[in-house]
Amino acid sequence: MTGQQLDSNSTQSSPSPRSRAYRRLIKWGVLLAIASAFVLAVLFIWVTTELSRPSQQTDDIVLEIRRGDGRVAISQRLNQIGIIHHPFVYQLEEWRRGGDYAPRAGEYLFPEGVNLSEAMTIIHEGKAIQHSITIPEGLTSAEIIAMLNADTRLSGVIAAIPDEGSMLPETYFFLRHTDRNDVIRWMQQSREIQFAELWADRPDDHELDHINDAIILASIVEKETGISGERGLVASVFLNRLRKGMRLQSDPTVIYGLAQAGVDVDHLHQHLKHDSPWNTYVIKALPETPIANPGLASFRAVIYPEQSDYYYFVADGKGGHRFAKTYEQHKANIQLWKNSKSD
C-alpha cells in the first residue's frame, strides 16, 4: 500500500503538458516585454539624442524651404546644412507633433548650434526672413515695373503696366519668390486707402473737386521738387494758377509727354509747344493722367497747401526754388538762376 501511495503522489505532483506550455508562454512573454522595453528605451534615447544634437554648422545659416517640399526634402536640406539626423527621426517627430505641424515655405535663419527639434519649430512657426524693396517717390509706373522685374528675389510675370499714379511709393516687405503681381496689388491698395483717407478730410473749400485731379497735381508737385519744405508752396502755386485760369507751365509735364511719344529731350525749350495731352504749356488745365506715382507727402501738400500769393517759381541753383508773386519778380529770379549757372 505504501508503494502505491507514493506512485500516486508522484503522478499528481508532475505538471501537465498544458501547465508547462502556460509557464513557457509566461516566461517568453516576460522576456519579450523586457526586450521590448529595452528596445523602446534604446529607441527613445536614440531619438532624443538625434533631436537634441547641436548642428555642425559654425555660423548662422539661411535655408530656403520651397513650396511643395515634403518631409524627405526638408530632412535632406537640414542634413545638408549640418543638422545631422536620420530621416526616420524627422518622420517620427513629425508624427509626434500631430496634424498641427505644418512646415511653411520661406527662407529661415538657423542659428549656430541649433538642433533638429528647434529647427523643426522654426520652420513650423513660419517666421521666414522678410525682404524689402523701397520704391522712390516720383517714378513712373514703367520705371517701377522695371525695378520689380530686375529684383531676382521676386517671381512671376507682370501682365501689364499699371495705370500711372495708381501705386504708392514706399517700402514693402515680402518673402522670397513672392509674385510681382502681389507686390503691385499691395502698392495699389496702399495708395487707394491712404489717399482716400486724406481726401475725405480735405477742406470744404478745396480747389479740386475730384481725387483723381489731386493725384494728377500731386504727381506734378512730386516731379517739381524733392524738398519736403517746398511741396506745400509748389502746390499753392499750381492751385493759384488753376484758380486764375492760367496754364501750369510745368516742365516735367512736357518731359513726360515727350517720353510717351518716344522723343529724346536734349533741349527742353525746343519742345515747349509739343502737342501732347500732358503739355501744360499748351493746355489750360491739368493733364489727363498723372505723370508719375506721387508719394504721400506730395499728395498731402496738395490737400493742405501753403497759403500764398505766389504764381511763379524757378530753380535757385542750389537744389531749391525761388518763388514770385509777379511775372517781373519771376524774370528777376530767372536771371539769378542763369547767373548761378554761369558762376
Q: What does the block give as the cell for 154?
A: 521676386
The model's confidence at residue 263, banded by pLDDT at 50, 70 and 90, is: confident
| Dist CA 122 CA 10 (whole Å) | 72
Cα separation, 149 vs 45, whole angstroms: 51
Reply yes or no on whether the pLDDT at 6 is more than 50.
no
Q: CA-to-CA distance for 281 and 271, rounded, in angstroms?
A: 10
| Band of residue 139 on the pLDDT scale cut at 50, 70, 90 | very high
Higher pLDDT, 152 or 33: 152
If you average pLDDT over residues 151-155, what whole number do you get?
Answer: 95
Worst-scoring range by mean pLDDT, 23-32, 194-203, 241-250? 23-32
Q: Are 93 and 134 in contact (CB under 8 A)?
A: no
Please compute the mean of the pLDDT values over residues 250-279 and round it to a whole number: 86
| pLDDT band per the 50, 70, 90 thresholds, residue 15 | low
How does the average pLDDT of the chain come out, rounded? Answer: 89
pLDDT at 78: 92
37, exposed or middle or buried, with CB in 10 Å at 0-12, 13-18, 19+?
exposed
Band (pLDDT 50/70/90 cuts) for residue 321 is: very high
pLDDT at 294: 98
42 or 255, which is more confident?
255
Domain boundaries, the chain: 35-129, 131-189, 204-342
> What is the percent of the chain where pLDDT is above 70?
95
Which has the higher per-residue pLDDT, 12 or 27?
27
pTM for the full predicted model:
0.80
pLDDT above 90: residue 254: yes
Q: What is the pLDDT of residue 217?
A: 98
Mean pLDDT, to the nearest integer, of 131-138? Answer: 97
Written as one letter, the residue type at 173 is F
pLDDT at 10 over 70: no
Interval 124-140 mean pLDDT = 94
Query: What are the backbone dihedrals phi and psi of residue 200, each rounded to the nearest 5 degrees, phi first?
Result: -65, -25
Question: In the block, which residue shows the cell 536734349?
Answer: 266
pLDDT-derived band of residue 12, with 50, 70 and 90 as boundaries? low
More confident residue, 49 or 80: 80
Label residue 101 by pLDDT band (50, 70, 90): confident
Collapsed DSSP state (helix, strand, coil) of residue 99: coil
Q: In which band, very low, low, confident or very high, does the pLDDT at 243 lie, cut at 50, 70 and 90?
A: very high
- Domain 35-129 of CATH type 3.30.1490.480: yes
Mutual angle of helices 71-80 and 116-125, in 10-degree steps: 120
Q: What is the pLDDT of residue 235?
A: 97
- Residue 127, pLDDT score: 86
pLDDT of residue 35: 79
